[in-house]
Amino acid sequence: MDFAFIISNPLVNVGVVSWAIAQIIKALIEFLKHGRFSRERLSGAGGMPSSHAAVTSAVCLMSFLEYGFTSPIFALSFIIMFIVIYDSTGVRWAAGLHAKAINNIVDYLGEEPDEDRSTEMRETLKGMIPKLNESLGHRVIEVICGVALGCVVALLFHHVFSM
């Protein structure tokens, strides 16, 4: 397969580059805040900036710049962008809050037994319920920064590759 074929689609390229930059920024922020490198930040969901917002906004803006407002490609990417942003700030954010609550309940139930919680129950809980990922969704500022990142990448791609 010819490598040029793989990189010939500007929408795919801008999406992949936006995602990669967002994930690298997340890992750098994690390193600066906690002094440790987190491999999970390179591919995990949640955090600053939203890679989902970066990808969808980059593809949306690039499709507008390449094909115009009336293009079906732009229309589809615009709708998908709003679905993804709604999901990340609403549904997935709530799922992260639920995961945090469940983790707290499991931690509480797994503490030293008393008359209501037996040692057997504690051991069962430890083996059955893994720690849930609490970083699933995004705060609004994380999405705004993701959208801004995606738009900057799309504008740079369009400027550089349309010359």
Cis peptide before 10 (omega within 30 of 0): no
Tell me what the mean pLDDT of segment 41-49 comes to: 76
Residue type, 7: I
Does the pLDDT at position 21 exceed 60? yes
Does the pLDDT at position 56 exceed 80? yes
76 and 14: one domain? yes
17 and 58: one domain? yes
Percent of the chain exceeding pLDDT 70 equals: 70
Domain with 110, as residue range(s), is 91-136
End-to-end Cα spacing for the chain = 27
More confident residue, 81 or 114: 81
Does the pLDDT at position 73 exceed 80? yes
Is pTM beyond 0.75? Reply is no
DSSP state of 39: G
pLDDT value at residue 43:
72
H or E, element range at 99: helix 91-109
81 and 159: one domain? yes
Does the pLDDT at position 115 exceed 60? no
- Candidate ranges 40-44, 63-67, 89-93, 101-105; pick with highest mean pLDDT: 63-67
More confident residue, 47 or 126: 47
Number of domains in the chain: 2
Match 């995602």 to its residue by tokens: 19
pLDDT value at residue 119:
60
Enumerate long-range contacts of 154-162, CB under 8 Å, 24 or more apart: 154/14, 154/18, 154/57, 154/58, 154/59, 154/61, 154/62, 154/65, 155/61, 155/65, 157/10, 157/13, 157/14, 157/17, 157/58, 157/62, 158/10, 158/62, 158/65, 158/66, 161/10
Local structure of 59: helix, strand or coil? helix
57 and 73: one domain? yes
Q: What sign has the CA pseudo-torsion 15, 19, 20, 21?
A: positive
**Smallest Cα–Cα separation from 103: which of 71, 136, 143?**
136
Does the pLDDT at position 113 exceed 90? no
Tell me what the mean pLDDT of segment 108-116 comes to: 59
Does the pLDDT at position 5 exceed 80? no
Cα separation values, 102 from 10, 39, 92, 95, 132, Å: 42, 24, 15, 10, 8
In a domain, 159, yes or no: yes
The dihedrals phi and psi of 10, each to the nearest 5 degrees, come to -65, -30
pLDDT value at residue 7:
76
16 and 55: one domain? yes
